[in-house]
Structure 1
Amino acid sequence: MPREQNQSWVSEFILLGFSSDPTSNRIFFFAFLLLYLSSILGNGLIVTLICLDSHLHTPMYFFLCILSLLDMGSVTTTVPQMLVHLLTHSQTISFACCWLQMYMFGAFGLFECIFFVVMAYDRYVAICYPLRYTIILSWDLCTQLAAGTCACGFFLSLIHTFLTMRLPYCGPNIVNHYFCEGPSVRSLACMDTHLIEMVDLVISVFMVVAPLSLIVTSYIRIVLAILKIKSNSGRYKAFSTCVSHLIVVILFYAPASYVYMRPNSSYSSERDKQVSTFYNVFTPLLNPVVYSLRNKDIKGAFLKIIEGVAGTMSGREGGKKQPLKQPKK
C-alpha cells in the first residue's frame, strides 16, 4: 500500500505515557528527569575520563567509551520526548517523528546488541592471549569493529522501521506507551502483521540469539583459561575484569529479549511498558555504576582529575602576589 495513503489515514499518534493524572505526571517528570540527568552525567563522566587519561587509551576502554555513547544516545532518543509530554500535558507525536524515534532507538539498540560481542571478544583476547593483546586488537581492527557494528545496527533498524511504518494505520491512533516502540505501534495496524512479525523474529534471532551464543562461547573459553591460572590472586583479577561486562549483558538482553522475541498475540502494553522502561532508562543509568564501582582504573582516573583540579586551584591561590611592604624611613 502506498505510503501516502498510510499517512492520510493517520498523521499522528497519541502516546498515553504512564498516567493521565496531572499530579502523578509531575511526580513522573521529576523522577525521570533525575534518572535522565544521572544517566547522561554518569556516562558522560566515563567518556571524559577515558578521553583525558592516557592510561585508559586501550581497546577495552575504547569499547567502554563507545558503550557509554550508545547509552547516552539511546536514552536521549526517548526520555526528553516523554518529559515534554509530562510537562506540557501534550501526548501527540507526528507520524514522521514517531518514525524517526523508532528508527533511532532501534539503531542504538541493535548496535549495542552486536557491540556486546565485540566487548566479549576483547575480554577473550585479553585473558587467553595477554601477550598478544595489543597486536591482535590493533587500533585499526578496533575502529573497523566499531564501524561495522554501527553500520549493521543502523541498517537492520531501517528494515524493521520501514516495514512497521508502511503498515496501514486507519485508527485508532492511541499508543499505550511512552515512546514509539515497534511492537506497540504495530499492534494498531489495520491488517494482519504475521509476515512483519516473522521478519522481526528473524532479525531478533540474528541480533539476540546469535550474539548471546557467541558471548557464551567466549566466556566458556575465558573460564577455562582462568582455571589454568595457578595463583588465586591471578584468577580473581582475571575474573573481575569480566564480571562487569557479564552484568551489563544480562541487564540489557533479558528485558529486550522479552519484548522483541514474542508474537503480537502475547503482547501486553502495560507489562511491556514497564519492561522497556528498565532497559531503556535504568540500564544506561546502571552501566556507569557497574563499571566504575568494580574498576580501579576508572576510579583512579577520576581521583587523578580531582587531584589535578584541586592542585590547580591551590596553585592559583598560592600564586597570588603579596603586596609589597613599604620600607621604613
Structure 2
Amino acid sequence: MTVRLTPLPSARYDDWSAATRERLIRLRQESGSRLGEEAVTQAEQYFTELLPQGLDSTASQVLLIADGADELGTLWLGANAGRLFVIDLAFSIAPSTSQGDEIVAALRAIATGEEASLISIGLFPQDAEGRRLVEGRGFRVASIQMLLEPLPDRIVADHVIVAPMTPERYPSFATASEAAFAVDLAESGRYTPEEAVVESRRQFVLELPEGLDTPGQELFTATVDGVEVGILWIGMRDRGGRPHAFILDVEVAADHRRKGYGRELMHATEREARRLGAGSVGLHVFGFNDAAVTLYEGLGYRRLEEQFILDL
C-alpha cells in the first residue's frame, strides 16, 4: 500500500480552510441544495462546530492524501456515535483505480480505530471524483434529497379528493407515521433500530409540537369514493427567501397501491404548494425505496445530494 493519509501541516491550514469553504459553498449553490447566503451559513457552521480550534479541534481531523511525491488531495473526517463521516473530500489529482482502492482501505482502517460501524459520505451531482471513489467499492445510497422547481401546471384527478386531515384522524396518523419513519431510518442503515425510534420521535416532536395546529404544517388525507387511500404531510420552509414546500410524509395505503394514487398525491402537493405561495417542492427519500425514486424522477424531481454509506 503506497497511498498515505497524514495530518495536514498547521502551516497549510489557512489555505486549506479558505479553499474548503469555497468548495462547500460552491457545491451547494451549484446543486441547488442551498441558495445564496444559505450555502455560506451552512459552510460556516461546519467550521464553527467541527473545527472550532482549527487543527487542534477534537471533533474532526483533516488529512492529506499522498502517493509517494504526488499529493492527491485532502480528507476532512469526523467520527460520532459509531460512524465515520467524510465531511469533505477534495482531489487535486484524480486517483487511479488502485489508488482509490487504497484510499477506501485507509478509511476502513481509520473507522476501525474509531470503533465505527459504517462510513458515510454526502455527494453532489457534480462531484465526479467522489462518485468514482464510492462506485464499485461497497457503498450504497442511504438517502437522496430531491427538488422540483419550477412547479409544473398539473391537476389532481377528479375522483381523488385530497382534503385537510381532521382532528379525529390525526392521532392514528401520528402514531403510524412516527413508527413507519423509525422503521425506514433503521432500514436505511444510518441508525440502529433503537436509535431510529429515538430519532423518529425527536423529529416528529420538532415538526409537530402542536399537532394539527402547528403553524407551517399542512396535513391531508386522500379519499376515493369516501374511502381513505393515502395521506400527505407538507412542511413549509424558506428557500432563498421564498416559500418552499417540503414533503415530510406521503403514503398510499397498502391495499390501494399500484392504482396511481401516489402520483395524484404528488400532484396535490404541487397544488397546495402553489396555494401557499411556494415555487418549489423538496423531499427526502431513502435509497432503498426504488419505486418512490422512479416516481419522483418521472415527475421531474432532480437529485440535489445523495448520502452514501459503507457498512463495516
Bigger relative CO (Cα 8 Å, ≥ 6 apart)? 1
Q: TM-score range by the shorter chain?
A: under 0.3
**TM-score normalized with structure 2 length:** 0.26
More helix by share: 1
Larger Cα-atom Rg: 1
**TM-score normalized with structure 1 length:** 0.25
